[in-house]
Amino acid sequence: MSRISRIKGFADMFPEESERYTFMEAQARRIFGVCGFREWRTPLLELTELFRRTIGDETDVVQKEMYTFVDAKGRSLSLRPEATAGIVRAYVQESCYERERVSRVFTCGPMFRHERPQKGRMRQFHQINCECLGDPSPMADAEMILMLLEFLKAIGIGKTVLKLNSLGCVACRPAYVERLGEFLAKVSGDLCPDCKRRAAANTMRVLDCKRPECRAVLERGPKMSDFQCADCRDHFGRVTRLLDAGGAAYETDPCLVRGLDYYCRTAFEVLSADIGAQSAVAGGGRYDGLVWSLNGPDIPGVGFACGLERLAMLMPPTASAVPDFHLLVLDEGLLEDGFALMQDLRGRGLSGVMNHEVSGFKGLMRQADRSGAWFCLLLGPDEAAAGAVTVKDMREGGQRTVPRENVYDILAGDKS
């Protein structure tokens, strides 16, 4: 029988990598918590209908990238390809708007898309998402963007560019989309097949095309900024003033559209200069129609998502936790005694492990070396007879035999 290997596009994360994700999540919890955001956890599996309604039938995500299957009851279920739909579904289902005027939510976890795997893009990937539901103010947009930048700084992502656009609203966007449609019909021959298809189904999505041929054509097209209504113009102006006041540099990019249908007004993206073509590390925007599209009340929202795989590639190395001790028991008869010592130290907040079998001294010392622990504790017959432990400093060198009750103080004191 052959060995079973993991499926393509999925990753096993060993400690060095896993700890980077834990670090990012810890920074997110700290910074978002300061800003009043609280963590929600929604299911990884939802009815397929949810994603069809929120993301849109015409999108690549819904058409070809979801992991969808029919369960024993004949229902079509999908692994979530993004987090916002599930959050908003929960928000509407539990009528959260009746309990609080503004819900500030973040969530961390895996998403699933059946895309071609490449560097920094996995079929099971991880995101941190923030959503602010119930707040129409441009202050919510600005707060969100500043919080995102703060988070990126905290995990050591230095070289970033913030791009902003306004996608207009139901009042002013239709006129723009119509003009864009007319323009695209005229230049249709110069567009790629994807753009030709999108031009009819979801016109603004054409702006998202990354092909240089299409980009060159679109440069000449109409710009949303020329069609914005007074409210949208005012909203965007206030967002940019708040960002200026918050010390955030940005570039406006008229071709920045978000990949999903329900975005309006503010759209933003943070790019890193370090990963070339795949350079967006976070993106988001306002989605005032989304709650309503799930039969909730007409409640506005703004949010963003960051892909952790790309951030993990860009982050400086994080220091792994170093164990405080590695306990070596040198005599079979002392294993239980040693176990009690180890448990006492762990109970007081020190980290470490011990040997469960007594083998040659050299082999045991090698284990202690490999553990990377600050201290090696030796418990042999001499130490046991004297009620003592030998403490060996693995960094500085040197060792001394001390009364057992002093071990904690020595380890805890030297830690700092």
Q: Count CA atoms within 13 Å of residue 272 on its CB side.
A: 22
Planar angle of CA 97, 103, 106, nearest 5 degrees: 140
Paired with 186 in beta bridges are none
Least distance to Zn ion, CB of residue 168, Å: 5
Nearer to Zn ion, 85 or 140 (CB): 140
Give the one residue of 13, 171, 200, 249 binding Zn ion; rule: CB under 5 A: 171
Give the one residue of 232, 239, 271, 329 binding Zn ion; rule: CB under 5 A: 232
Which positions from 179 to 198 touch Zn ion by CB under 5 A, shown as an x/- string?
-------------x--x---
Q: Does 11 bind Zn ion (CB under 5 A)?
A: no
Least distance to Zn ion, CB of residue 286, Å: 11
- Stretch of 4-12, 178-186, 231-239, 337-345 lying at the interface with Zn ion (CB under 5 A): 231-239
Where are the extended beta strands (E) located within 32-116?
38-39, 45-47, 68-70, 76-79, 103-112
Q: Does 169 bind Zn ion (CB under 5 A)?
A: yes
Which residue bears the tokens 């990598």?
17
Least distance to Zn ion, CB of residue 211, Å: 5
Nearer to Zn ion, 229 or 402 (CB): 229
CA dist 90 and 86 (Å) reads: 6
CA dist 362 and 366 (Å) reads: 6
Which residue bears the tokens 């110069």?
190
Give the one residue of 130, 145, 172, 350 binding Zn ion; rule: CB under 5 A: 172
Q: Does 229 bind Zn ion (CB under 5 A)?
A: yes
CA dist 144 and 160 (Å) reads: 16
Distances (CA, A) of 46 to 55, 85, 108, 133, 272: 13, 9, 17, 21, 32
Q: Does 211 bind Zn ion (CB under 5 A)?
A: yes
The sheet carrying 45-47 orders its strands as: 45-47, 76-79, 68-70
Which residue bears the tokens 């960051």?
306
Nearer to Zn ion, 169 or 341 (CB): 169
Which positions from 115 to 154 touch Zn ion by CB under 5 A, shown as an x/- string?
----------------------------------------
Which parts of this chain interact with Zn ion (CB under 5 A)?
Answer: 168-169, 171-172, 192, 195, 209, 211, 214, 229, 232
